Amino acid sequence: MATDNLTTSSVSSDDPSGEVLRQLDAWLDIAWDPQRPLGEWWSLLADEGWGFPSWPVEWFGRGLPSSTARRARIELVHRGALGPPAGIAPFLAAPTLLAHGTDEQLRRFMPGIAKGTDVWCQLFSEPGSGSDLASLATRAELDGDEYVVTGQKVWNTGAQFADWAILMARTDIDQPKHKGISYFAFDMRQPGVEVRPLKEMTGGATFNEVFLTEARVPVANLLGAPGEGWRVAMTTLSHERDNENPAGGGGGGTFIGRPDLSMPVADFMRPDPDHRPDGFEIAMSGGMGELPAKLAREFGRLDDAVTRQQVADLWAHRQLIRLNGQRGKARVKQGQPPGAESSTGKLMSSDLGRKMREVGLAIEGAHGQLMDTDAPHDGLLQAYGLFQPAMSIAGGTDEVQRSIIGERVLGLPKEPDVSRDVAWRDVKVGTQKRD
């Protein structure tokens, strides 16, 4: 827990990350100005590699180990500086591009991601193809040097704001379902793309459904070879299931939308009194971890042995998730494919969210029945709690994660799947048979 309060003054001279943090601190002395335009600040962070320090040097990073990069992010928070852009672009699209993209694709897409000028969304799940993602039915048919894409996607976070999407579509219906999928960087700002926001029980509309009608994507936007989309998607999903978001910024939280890059950074960081953050923003901001302890203190429950044990258990749970994430990253850095660590982390995170909701509401007592500004902390815990069912579904349901762990860790037989080796054209998807 001591690392959460790390400052440059607490770094020993023989700590290899100490010099990195001193360099960051010296740079912030010169560069940090809350009156800078937001776009200019994010560009500075990207150009100097401090926004995403674990990324390669040639692609807006510093090539630092994940542990050192995390300490640099903590230093940003300590200094009160705004971190880099957050969301699907740096969290999912960038790691996938870095692992599978060509130099030409990296030159095209990484600047907009690192500097926050491009917003991305994810077009994976479909009606009838959620947990069984490989059965997806969206088609991409080759037409010269482009693919023509038709289909429907759902649960697409922030799609109403997106410039680009990471898209999985079926390019070969004669192959089994896992082998006929391709992975694209897809232009959301084109004819044939219709986005419909979905109202949630939280009151927000974070998720959407997206209808694609003869939209187009160049062959040059393929990540990996045609038919290798499932392999590429495993990289994306390993990051989606990683609760220790490597792209999380300091001081800025999670912003769902399209920020005004001309506004002063201070205005972007200042809470908007008219904006009530929904459960997704709260869950992804990383700011919930200390709330149960804070509530216990405010409600005079710190001397209650049961409450103290529950709060301590939540802290330990968070540390286990962090350590598990580091283990998964070490595996990938050794050149191994993503393992079951990401599924373990995702399952642990879903469980943690439910425990935080229950412990927090128990501490609040009758106040837990209130909402919004009537509730403690303006209903932060209530909004978070309402979103928890979504967190156990997004990125692969808890049931899917248990199956993966059972197969890859415990050596249990695979789930029965008669369609695994059958050409997709002969497989029933949802309730309808596709031609």
Residue 398's Cβ-count burial label (10 Å; 0-12, 13-18, 19+) is middle
3-class DSSP string for 233-252? HHHHHHHHCCCCCCCCCCCC
pTM of the full structure: 0.79
Both 214 and 276 in a single domain? no
pLDDT range class, residue 240, cuts 50, 70, 90: low
Q: Is residue 424 part of a domain?
A: no
Residue 199 exposed, middle or buried by CB count within 10 Å (0-12, 13-18, 19+): exposed
Mean per-residue pLDDT, 372-393: 87
What integer is the mean pLDDT of 61-78?
A: 89
* In the predicted structure, residue 141 carries a pLDDT above the cut 90: yes
172 and 61 in one domain?
Answer: no
Which segment of 119-123, 305-309, 341-345 scores lowest on mean pLDDT?
A: 341-345
pLDDT band per the 50, 70, 90 thresholds, residue 208: very high
The structural domain count of the chain equals: 3
Element (H, E) at 149: strand 146-154
Domain span at 38: 17-84
Q: Are residues 207 and 314 in the same domain?
A: no
Question: Strands 120-123 and 164-170: what pairing?
Answer: parallel
Residue range 10-52, pLDDT digits in tens: 333 445 678 899 999 999 999 999 999 999 999 999 999 999 9
Structural domain includes residue 231: yes
Question: Given this model, what pLDDT does residue 245 score?
Answer: 46
In a domain, residue 414? The reply is: no
Q: What is the CATH number of the domain that holds 177?
A: 2.40.110.10
H helices present in 245-304, as ranges: 265-269, 279-285, 291-298
pLDDT at 333: 72
Are residues 379 and 323 both part of a single domain? Answer: yes
Residues 167 and 209 in one domain: yes
Q: Indicate whether 7 belongs to any domain.
A: no
Please list, in sequence order, all residues whose beta carbon lies within 8 angstroms of the beta carbon of residue 16, skipping any fewer than 6 positions away.
68
* Statement: residue 170 has pLDDT above 70: yes
Extract the tokens encoding 408.
Answer: 């890859």
75 and 136 housed in the same domain:
no
pLDDT at 81: 94
Q: Say if residue 2's pLDDT is above 70.
A: no
My answer on whether 139 and 196 are in the same domain is yes
Question: Hey, how many other C-beta atoms are within 10 angstroms of the C-beta on 213?
Answer: 13
Q: Is residue 362 part of a domain?
A: yes
Beta-ladder partners of 187? 164
Whether residue 291 is found in the same domain as residue 387: yes
Residues 76 and 159 in one domain: no
In a domain, 419, yes or no: no
Q: Catalytic: which of 126, 240, 244, 364?
A: 240
State which of 67-81, 333-347, 418-432 shows the largest mean pLDDT: 67-81
Same domain assignment for residues 303 and 378: yes
277 within a domain of the structure (yes/no): yes
CATH at 303: 1.20.140.10
Kindly state whether residues 235 and 161 are assigned to the same domain.
Answer: yes
> Is 75 a residue of the active site?
no
Residue 90 above 80 pLDDT?
Answer: yes
Considering the domain architecture, whether residues 318 and 376 belong to the same structural domain is answered as yes
Dihedral sign for Cα atoms in the order 220, 226, 230, 234 = negative
Q: Does some domain include residue 368?
A: yes
Q: Which residues contact 121 (CB under 8 A, 6 or more apart)?
A: 88, 156, 157, 158, 159, 161, 162, 164, 165, 166, 188, 208
